[in-house]
Amino acid sequence: MSQSELDILEIISSVGQARNYYIEAIQEAKSGNYEACNELLKKGNEMYAKGHRIHQLMVQTEAGGERVELNLLLTHAQDQLMSAEAFKILCDEFVDVYRKFDEVNNRLDMLQG
C-alpha cells in the first residue's frame, strides 16, 4: 500500500472517529452531562484536526506541483471530511441549544420553588 493510500485511510479513520465523538457529545448534552460533553468535543476536535491536517498536506503537495492521484478512496475521504465538518457545526449548535434549554429550565425551577 502506498503512503498516499495510508494517508487517505488515516483521514477516513480520524474524521470518522471525530464524527462519532460529536454524536456522543450531543447525547451527553441532551442528558445534561456537560463535563463528558466537553471532553467528547475536545476529542472530536482533535481527531477532526488530525484528518484535516493530512488532507491539507495533500492539497499543499498538489499546489506545489506534485500530482496527487484522484481516486475513489480520496473522494470518499473528502466526503467523510466534509461530513465530519457538518457534524461538528451541528454539534456545536445542538450543545448550545441544550445548554440554553437547561438554563431556562433551571431559572423556571428557581422561580417555582
Domain 3-112 in CATH 1.20.58.80? The answer is yes
Catalytic residues: 76
Q: Are 10 and 51 in contact (CB under 8 A)?
A: yes
d(CA 71, CA 110): 58
Write down the H helix ranges in 31-71.
34-63
Tens digits of residue pLDDT in 66-89? 998 889 999 999 999 999 999 999
Q: What is the mean pLDDT of the chain?
A: 96
Question: Could you state, in chain order, the average pLDDT of each consecutive group of 10 residues for the chain (113 residues)?
Answer: 94 98 98 98 98 97 92 96 98 98 93 85
Q: Is the overall model pTM greater than 0.85, yes or no?
A: yes
